[in-house]
A and B are shown apart, each in its own frame.
Chain A
Amino acid sequence: MIQTAQLAITVNGKSWTGEVPVETQLLDLLRTHLGLIGTKRGCESEVCGACTVLIDGIPVSSCNYLAFEANGKTVTTIEGLETNGELHPLQAAFMRNVAAQCGYCTPGQILAAVALLQENASPTYEEIARWMTGNICRCGCYPAIATAIREVSEETGSRA
């Protein structure tokens, strides 16, 4: 006797409606039901950040977030950042700075950075480090990641 929940969510700008068991985690809805495999399964403990997605612009660990909670909200995954085939400035800056080796953590890193720049358009290095502390990169690309974020904030950030 599985209990289900009706969902109406906006995923990467497109509306999706469906029914899922209440215990379904957002990560499984995204990867299995919607085929959005850019969101990665990592530690499953809210530590590593590989599964980071944005819910109404706020980063959450989709591995530890019940899908029904997203009802009525907008979900942004790495697949939703490009506009008309053009990469998001952070995606371009990550590439330019080679801010990844294996790339497994990269979708989560970029989404966390998107949320950071929405909240703080011109973060200091320390502010970047503190915000991004929840996204682990085992390849150790942190300096390049921070540089990429700084470059985008300098392009678009306010100087106030």
Chain B
Amino acid sequence: MGNILLSPFRLMTPTTVSEAAAELSRLGDAAKIYAGGAELLLLLRHGIVQAEYLVNIKRIPGIDDIAVDGELVRIGAAVTHRRLERDLLVRERLPILAEAESHIGNIRVRAQGTIGGNLCFADPHADPGTALLVHEAFAVVAGPGGTRRIPLEEFFVGTYETALAPDELLTEIQVQPLSPGWNGAFLRIEQYYRPTANVAAAVQMGQDRIQDVRLAVGCIGPRALRLSEIESELVGLPLEEADQKLAGSKAYLAERLEPVDDLLGSADYKIHITRALLRRALHQASQYA
């Protein structure tokens, strides 16, 4: 406690994506990408991360834009949580994401923190990633050799670990809204602002049966992920049977999610909670159909 000062660093302020990638390539490990700083400044102050250089990407034109491109919503990496929580276009087209964003930290963290920072930090205890997984979102990543588009599920590699190469930066997230006939839900339980467990569900109902479904879980294991095996088992089932299927999914969830005992609860408790949230989310998402 008490006035933990930041060590001096040099601030680089590139104004194009390729300039930023070139700086990252040139400076290597000595540089860290700086956007909102909500997580990074904390880690720097506490000495958990060291940086001689901060590469401030916020001056890159368009990096904090929200744009509609055909059916896609393109979200710049430096868009803040507060904007995603409040933006009318996002609330209308990506309500699951807007809901997830509204739960992050507190009002100050949401004003400062960015979607790109959140995804790149890859803290498993995060909300936006879980919501974006049911949209099958893509991360657009730029490096010295050009850009590539990575499915978000592959972007998340593990705890605090992403598919970004050291000289790459996340520039944009591309999100497809749910098609007509689909509905979604995002649920979480939390302790001291941080989610203990979160789930996102998207369902297409038809003739009282599940036509298609996507389920994602965050916080429990090393990274947020989709539950593809269970999803395919639920297709074609009436809601009640799907619910029974989820009720019996404990062993599958434990294997798929790799929970550990920690201060937020035992592994068994986390699976219990996840299963309950999944059942609720499926129910909630199917009610609007």
Contact = CB atoms under 8 A, between A and B. Distances in A.
The SS class assigned to the B binding surface is loop
Contact of B42 (A2, A45, A66, A131): A45
B108 A134 contact: yes
A12 B6 CA distance: 26
A7 interface: no
A134 B106 contact: yes
Nearest to A115: B107
Given A46-B42, A66-B41, A52 B108 contact: yes
Interface string A131-147: 10111000000000000
Contacts of B70: none
A2, A22, A23, A65 — most chain B CB neighbours (10 Å): A23
Contacts of B1: 44
Contact of A64 (B10, B41, B193): B41
A93 interface: no
Contacts of A68: 11
B2, B4, B106 — most chain A CB neighbours (10 Å): B106
Interface stretch (A55-63, A72-80, A98-106): A55-63
B191 interface: no
A64 B41 CA distance: 6
Given A44-B1, A44-B45, A64-B112, A49 B11 contact: no
A59 B37 contact: no
Q: How large is the interface on B (under 10, 10 to 19, 20 to 34, 35 or more residues)?
A: 20 to 34
A41 B5 CA distance: 12
B3 interface: yes
B4, B107, B109, B111 — most chain A CB neighbours (10 Å): B107
Nearest to A23: B6
B207 interface: no
A133 to B, nearest CB: 6
A52 B38 CA distance: 14
A2 B10 CA distance: 8
A112 interface: yes
Interface string B23-60: 00000000000000110011001000000000000000
Given A41-B2, A65-B37, A60 B108 contact: yes
B106 A46 contact: yes
Contact of B4 (A22, A44, A46, A66): A44
A74 to B, nearest CB: 14
B8 interface: yes
A60 B2 contact: no
Contacts of A64: 37-38, 41-42, 45, 112
A131 B107 contact: yes
Interface residues of A, number: 29
B252 interface: no
B52 to A, nearest CB: 11
Contacts of B11: 3, 5, 22, 68
A41 B107 contact: no
A59 B107 contact: yes
Contacts of A131: 107
B105 interface: yes
Contact of A2 (B8, B82, B107, B192): B8
A77 B108 CA distance: 15
Interface in B149-205: 192-193
A141 B5 CA distance: 31
B281 to A, nearest CB: 21
Interface of A: 2-3, 5, 21-23, 25, 28, 41, 44-47, 49, 52, 58-61, 64-66, 68, 112, 115, 131, 133-135
20 contacts: A3-B9, A5-B11, A22-B11, A23-B6, A23-B8, A46-B38, A46-B108, A46-B112, A47-B192, A47-B193, A59-B107, A60-B108, A60-B111, A60-B112, A64-B37, A64-B41, A65-B112, A112-B107, A133-B193, A134-B105
